[in-house]
Amino acid sequence: MSQNHLLRALHECYAENNGTQRYIMRCIFDREEFMRFDSTVGEFRALTAMGRPWAESWNSQKDYMERRRAEVDTVCKHNYELNQAFTVKRQDFYPGSIRVRWFRNGQEETAGVVSTNLIRNGDWTFQILVMLEMTPQWGDVYTCHVEHPSLQSPVTVEWSESPWGPSWIHIL
């Protein structure tokens, strides 16, 4: 009987309070993060014993590391300059039926909503990533509304601060 495993890399960009960008690459094996690249550190750091040989190998590859260090400019800064996005990631939920809606100042937004398909985690749970891409206007209040059978009532997350603040990405 064969065993299935999942190896994935999550690439994340963050707008820091001081106006800079931060890039993080998380390396995950079977739902456990084993290694991470953080642009503020500039190299891979092992988080588990499994990550040590990987981090040592990748950190020793000069060309590869130059590309990783450039991600903060080529991916993060470039995309933040083009637009802003509110992101909600809902993970490890069951059953797979879920409804995520976005509101601006109490009115539902449909334009600019981008979503992954429902992703099966392989352990009967699911995840989804839903973003609202827009140009934020000062004073607007953005709200994400999540409905799921496991919730007694919908979960609502509100953003009403500067787009350069730290809370543009929420994991529910």
Q: Has residue 162 been placed in a domain?
A: yes
Angle between helices 51-59 and 62-71 (to 10 degrees): 100
The answer to whether residues 134 and 83 touch, using CB atoms and an 8 Å cutoff, is: yes
Residue-wise pLDDT for 26-77, tens only, equals 999 888 999 999 999 999 999 999 999 999 999 999 999 998 998 888 777 6
Residues 70, 111, single domain; the answer is no
Q: Tell me, what's the pLDDT at 163? A: 44
Q: Tell me, what's the pLDDT at 172? A: 42
Q: Has residue 1 been placed in a domain?
A: no
Residue-wise pLDDT for 97-120, tens only, equals 889 898 989 999 988 888 888 888
Q: Tell me, what's the pLDDT at 107? A: 93
Q: Is 55 helix (H, G, I), strand (E, B) or coil?
A: helix
Tokens describing residue 90? 């809902």
Residue-wise pLDDT for 5-31, tens only, equals 888 888 888 776 666 778 899 999 888
Give the CATH number for residue 13. 3.10.320.10
Greater model confidence, 92 or 83: 92
Greater model confidence, 155 or 171: 155
Q: Tell me, what's the pLDDT at 2? A: 64
Q: Tokens 């190299």 identify what position?
A: 43
The answer to whether residues 168 and 159 touch, using CB atoms and an 8 Å cutoff, is: yes
Give the CATH number for residue 139. 2.60.40.10
Residues 69, 106, single domain; the answer is no
pTM assigned to the model? 0.47
Greater model confidence, 107 or 124: 107
pLDDT of 122 higher than 70: yes
Q: How confident is the model at residue 153 (pLDDT cuts 50, 70, 90)?
A: confident
Q: Has residue 78 been placed in a domain?
A: yes
Residues 117, 77, single domain; the answer is no
Residues 27, 55, single domain; the answer is yes
Q: Tell me, what's the pLDDT at 98? A: 87
